[in-house]
């Protein structure tokens, strides 16, 4: 992926992406309707690129645009299936184009919503996950004008648009997690109990060493680490560390470099929160090394790792070691996004 097209991440977006990829991996081979939204064209395409790349080897991702004059979801999915090249692989269909509806008048939107309302039975013939990307302005219309379709959706995934002006130098860290007041107050987040139930199901259905299991382990590590940093008690760090370590081992086995780098970073952040700086530093260095090797020295994710290592040094009062890392991270970001 071109660095300019890398999705802009916020902590909330990372959580949303984790939920989306876990839903896709758990739903392979069965009908799922997943509604996603991102109102920036380049960032939307970048998120699609990201999950399609992550699904390679597990599934055959297909993309299709809605027909502007006959915007039927069923017809769009049927058209996409004409491009299947390997019938032995599960299929995931991504449907875009709804963002262009209504630009010349309300009729295409009304037709689109009408098709959605009466499409349930027709979609049952598709044993596959469907990711339907919608502009945020359309989401409030679905419960009103396509209530039947809305009632049997399998998930809603809202990605926030992030602009350069919204990102300060200290916020180049997509993996560092915002504190959450509870496990499930955010309607877009699964509770720890839900995640652990999903983990048990994934281990049974897909095997204890599957990538879906690794993703759920990482999410559980993040959630328990959130609780620890929110002051729930030192005991919360114990399952957080264990889940991260299991996720890291699986990502190493599957050679998933991007996920491995993220998990190393998140475990390091837990250690840093505990004051275990000597344990955190080698993990951050390894995360940086992976990203430099796999993505390149000037990739935004490399800037993230540089910034994270600099933050660790700053926390220790090692300002002379931190400064050049901060400078290099900012140079990369200015080069990619513009000064």
- Under the banding of pLDDT at 50, 70 and 90, the label for residue 23 is confident
pLDDT over threshold 50, residue 22 = yes
Q: Are residues 74 and 139 in the same domain?
A: yes
Residues 134 and 219 in one domain: no
Co-location of 112 and 243 in the same domain: no
Q: Residue 257: give its domain's CATH number.
A: 1.25.40.10
What is the rounded CA–CA span in Å between residue 31 and residue 95? 14
Question: 121 and 226: one domain?
Answer: no
Query: Helix crossing, 107-117 with 73-81: angle to 10°?
Result: 80
Q: Could you give the CA distance from residue 268 to residue 244 in angstroms, rounded to a whole number?
A: 10
Both tokens assigned to 14: 């990372």
What integer is the mean pLDDT of 223-230? 89
Does residue 119 sit in the same domain as residue 255? no
Q: What is the pLDDT of residue 104?
A: 63
What tens digit of pLDDT does each residue of 238-268 get?
Answer: 999 999 999 999 999 988 888 898 899 999 9
Mean pLDDT of the residues in the chain? 83
| Total structural domains within the chain | 2
CB-count burial class (<10 Å; 0-12, 13-18, 19+) for 101: buried
pLDDT at 210: 87
What is the spatial distance between Cα 137 and Cα 154, in angstroms, rounded to a whole number? 20
Q: How far apart are CA 10 and CA 178, in angstroms?
A: 9
Structural domain boundaries, residue 213: 192-337
- CATH number of 79's domain: 3.40.50.300
Could you read off the pLDDT of 182-219 as tens digits, one per residue? 333 333 356 788 888 888 888 888 889 988 888 889 88
Confidence band for 271, pLDDT divided at 50, 70 and 90: very high
Q: Taking residues 156-174, what's their average pLDDT? A: 59
**100-139 residue pLDDT tens:** 887 666 788 888 998 898 887 788 888 999 999 999 888 8
- Give the per-residue pLDDT at 264: 94
């Amino acid at each position: 992926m071109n660095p300019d097209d890398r999705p802009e991440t916020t902590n909330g977006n990372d959580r949303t992406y984790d939920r989306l990829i876990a839903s896709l991996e758990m739903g392979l081979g069965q009908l799922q309707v997943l509604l996603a939204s991102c109102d920036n064209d380049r960032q939307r395409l970048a998120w699609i690129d990201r999950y399609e790349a992550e699904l390679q080897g597990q599934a055959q991702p297909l993309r299709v645009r809605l027909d502007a004059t006959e915007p039927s979801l069923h017809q769009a999915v049927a058209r996409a299936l004409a491009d299947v090249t390997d019938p032995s692989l599960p299929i995931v269909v991504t449907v875009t184009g709804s963002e262009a509806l209504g630009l010349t008048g309300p009729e295409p939107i009304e037709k689109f919503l009408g098709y959605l309302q009466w499409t349930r039975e027709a979609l049952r013939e598709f044993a596959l996950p469907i990711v339907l990307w919608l502009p945020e302005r359309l989401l409030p219309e679905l419960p009103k004008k396509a209530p039947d379709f809305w009632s049997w959706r399998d998930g809603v995934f809202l990605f926030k648009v992030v602009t350069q002006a919204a990102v300060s130098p200290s916020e180049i860290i997509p993996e560092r997690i915002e504190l959450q007041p509870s496990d499930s107050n955010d309607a877009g987040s699964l509770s720890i109990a839900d995640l652990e139930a999903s983990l048990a199901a994934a281990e049974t259905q897909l095997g204890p060493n599957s990538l879906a299991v690794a993703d759920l382990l990482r999410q559980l590590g993040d959630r328990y680490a959130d609780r620890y940093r929110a002051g729930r008690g030192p005991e919360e760090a114990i399952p957080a560390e264990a889940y991260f370590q299991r996720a890291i081992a699986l990502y190493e086995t599957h050679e998933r470099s991007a996920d491995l780098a993220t998990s190393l970073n998140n475990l390091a952040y837990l250690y840093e929160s505990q004051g275990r700086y000597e344990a955190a530093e080698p993990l951050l260095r390894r995360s940086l090394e992976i990203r430099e090797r796999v993505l390149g020295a000037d990739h935004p994710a490399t800037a993230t790792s540089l910034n994270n290592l600099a933050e660790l040094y700053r926390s220790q009062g090692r300002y002379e070691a931190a400064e050049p890392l901060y400078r290099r991270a900012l140079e990369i970001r200015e080069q990619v996004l513009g000064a």
